[in-house]
Amino acid sequence: MVPRTFHFSLYTLPLPRTNLMTMLSMLAWRTVLFAQDPGCTLTLQGRVVDAHDGGPLAFAEVRIASLGRTVQADAEGAYRINGLCPGTYVLQVAHIGCGTVEQRITLDKDQRRDLRLEHHEHELRQLEVLRDRPDEDVGHARDGLDREGMEKEAGRTLADMLSGMQGVTVLQTGPTIGKPVIHGLSGNRVLMLNQGVRQEDQQWGTEHAPTIDPLSSDRITVVKGAAAVQYGSEAIGGVVVTEPVELPREAGLGGEVRLLGVSNGLGGGASGMLQGGVNGVRGLGWRLQGSGRYLGDSEAPEYVLSNTGVREAGVSTALGYADHRWELGAYYSRFARELGILRASHIGNLTDLNNAIASEEPWYVADRTYAIGAPRQTVDHQLAKAEVAHAIGERGRLQATYAYQADARQEYDVRRGGRSDTPAIDLFLSTHTGELVLKHWLGEKVHGRVGANVLHQVNENVPGTGARPLIPNYRKRTAGLFVLEHVPVHDRLELEAGARVEATDLYVAMYTVDDVLLVDEPVFRNGAVSAGLNWSPRDSTRLRFNVSSAFRPPNVAELYSSGLHHGSAAIEEGDPDLGSERALKAVIDLEHAPANSAFQVHGTLHASRNDGFIYLRPDGTRLTVRGAFPVYRYVATDAAIWGGDLLVTWRMTERWMGTLKGSTVRARDLVQDEWLFGMPADRMEGSVAYRLDRVKGWSGVELSVHGTAVLTQRRYPVGVDLMDPPAGYGLLGFSAAATRAFNGNELRLGLRATNLLNASYRDYLDAFRYYADARGIDLAIWITYAFGDRSLSRAPARNP
């Protein structure tokens, strides 16, 4: 049953319905605090043993993820969980040197159950992408999109896929480019992990969308909050993890093919995946995957958004082997993209710029086409990864990972003399990263990991552009050390604490306008600490709390940008005197799901102090030989950011579900004593879903209607932007999905409609809101055919 969710802001809104919203909020929190769980007195106990010889597996972990409860077996493998309600539970059982297994049990009385693990069938897993492990991001609010959810979002960008999560919005540059925003923070404050590797792809640009093919993964996880101790610099707002897919370990063959069609852009896409094991070599698995998208110009309700076509193609392959001690893995991916930039965003003179901002329609509108002309950008990103892991006795594991990334980016401007096909910006970024992590046990309870990582990066401006580089050539070197320890105090309380130190050195070479070579070598030294807890006062309630510091040194663009950034249609100026940004953030996250209640509540509160907060601040306009453009300068200030998210799920009947959710962010510039520029407006979303388990051979039939309301952003610095924030807006959507099995294979169909009423609107977080409306109605239909061994083609996400 898919839940219906109702969202609303945790803050009082200046609307006539404010009192109603406040009352609903108070009612939801009253449900959290006072709902009772009668009759939860059952006990589950037993031993965790080796499946081969029946020997005890000392200090194994037994977890009921739905309750957030974990117990640890003693030296004889004995475990005990008290205070359980009658019902059905899924147990997750883990032990170093064993594969994690799940067992479903139904309790109606006290029960003894021995749990058996394949102690000699070791399947190592990287901690960063394990789901619901007790020693993973303790205290942090988390959200995720599994394979089924990703399939329903087929054809959307990675950022758009994530925008349905609590506290996540999208920073846009027209209809083709989007970056995730977590609790008001984006860009270099949101770390992207692609297959467990830091994504390095010129992410400093507001219009540089992550060059990640979401179809190369089966699950995306978002960690909300400062997570620099575990993940390093830039994890101030949060971390987005595209998780590696589990490789088959047994012989067999499975796969799937997916087709997609969309109406807004009159295009579509396709993807395919094939994976299997190898006969005679148990533990050896492989996977091949490919995808592509082809779209023409997008359309607003009243006109064509000219030159906004999309071309994408991606391929990935993985190979892995595991036995009871060793695991070896290799991965390669390539993702290429060509994006048109809204032609109306490039203006010839200051008068035309002011007229364009004042006009309700773009100054340039042409017939819809699939051609992509200047301005446009092309990106080609490659990732190669190799890793090896070894179990050290029964109490530790050592894992080493090396990765190489190559990122080629070209940006094309409308240029005179037939030079529009010559890139005005041509960058090649190469990055080598290495990581060594030891997972260990200290005594009977304390366990964690200690590690080191290094990065070597070189950015080069490719000659031949005929323009002065926007950012200079540079070399970057980073080294870090971290430790993170986890202490399960008892089965309802888990603690975690950690620390990191990190050093970054830059070597920057650039020419002045007088062709004088300048060399700069800034050095940055930073550290971070973290402390968190998970507490389950009762089976239905889980509280997470985390206080963490985080940091990021300024990137080269923030220090040395100088000139026109074609993709964003703006002039950007850096400041070489900027220092590291440091943040202290607290997050409290509460989930309440009573066993006998139709309501579930999930709320998050967050607050942070950011010193040296770097952002692009509007600074008027400037006329150049290439036209008139808005000017932005990188400036630093001290900022306070706080807000909240709330999700309420209501199971009306066995078939009807409703949801309501809302999020709000407030941010103050403490130096200027004004609201901070570029923060997301308050938003609310609601949905009603109807689901049938089976209808005439079809299963999982689901129909859903959902709506989004975004309020006008009224908290912004006055007189700074080129125009006031646009008016708030509301959108209506619809989705449907169904599955049919035949001959051991599976066919899945889906329909998704966004902006169903074709409303005209502009979003405050869209950099092109000055020039045009956002996309109008869009209908998408997808078809997936899964074949072969379904246990392979629908394996759960995990590391190779």
User: What digits encode the pLDDT tens for the residues 749-789?
Assistant: 999 999 999 999 999 999 899 999 999 999 999 999 999 87
| Structure confidence at residue 20 (pLDDT) | 36
- The pTM for the full model equals 0.81
Mean pLDDT, residues 480-494 = 90
| Structure confidence at residue 516 (pLDDT) | 84
| Structure confidence at residue 75 (pLDDT) | 72
In this model, does residue 95 exceed pLDDT 80?
no
Ranges assigned E (strand) in 188-325: 190-194, 197-198, 219-224, 238-243, 252-262, 267-278, 281-295, 298-299, 304-305, 310-322
Mean pLDDT, residues 281-294 = 93
- Domains of the chain, by residue range, sit at 16-119, 239-793
The first and second tokens of residue 729, run together, are 């807006």
| Structure confidence at residue 137 (pLDDT) | 62
Residue (of 245, 243, 339) closest to 293 by Cα position: 339
User: In residues, how long is the chain?
Assistant: 800
Bridge partner residues of 189 (DSSP): none
| Structure confidence at residue 127 (pLDDT) | 29
Mean pLDDT, residues 122-146 = 52
Mean pLDDT, residues 361-383 = 94
The span from the CA of 409 to the CA of 470, in Å, is 13
CA dihedral 70, 75, 78, 80 (to 10 degrees): -40
**Alpha-carbon 273 to chain mean position:** 22
The first and second tokens of residue 675, run together, are 């609201």
The first and second tokens of residue 543, run together, are 């509280």
Mean pLDDT, residues 301-313 = 96
More confident residue, 102 or 257: 257
More confident residue, 215 or 486: 486
What's domain 239-793's superfamily in CATH? Answer: TonB-dependent receptor, beta-barrel domain (2.40.170.20)
Q: What is the CATH number of domain 16-119?
A: 2.60.40.1120
More confident residue, 139 or 122: 139
The mean predicted confidence, pLDDT, of the chain is 85
Phi and psi for 188 in degrees, rounded to 5?
-75, 5
In this model, does residue 250 exceed pLDDT 50?
yes
Residue bearing tokens 């190559």: 406
More confident residue, 73 or 478: 478
The span from the CA of 159 to the CA of 169, in Å, is 8
Mean pLDDT, residues 168-172 = 90
More confident residue, 715 or 625: 715
| Structure confidence at residue 384 (pLDDT) | 97
| Structure confidence at residue 15 (pLDDT) | 36
| Structure confidence at residue 694 (pLDDT) | 83
Residues 6+ apart with CB under 8 A from 373: 307, 340, 343, 420
In this model, does residue 681 exceed pLDDT 80?
yes
| Structure confidence at residue 200 (pLDDT) | 92
* Burial class, 477, CB count within 10 angstroms (exposed 0-12 / middle 13-18 / buried 19+): middle
Stretch among 99-108, 278-287, 475-484, 548-557 having the lowest mean pLDDT:
99-108
The first and second tokens of residue 516, run together, are 């004088």
The span from the CA of 159 to the CA of 178, in Å, is 6
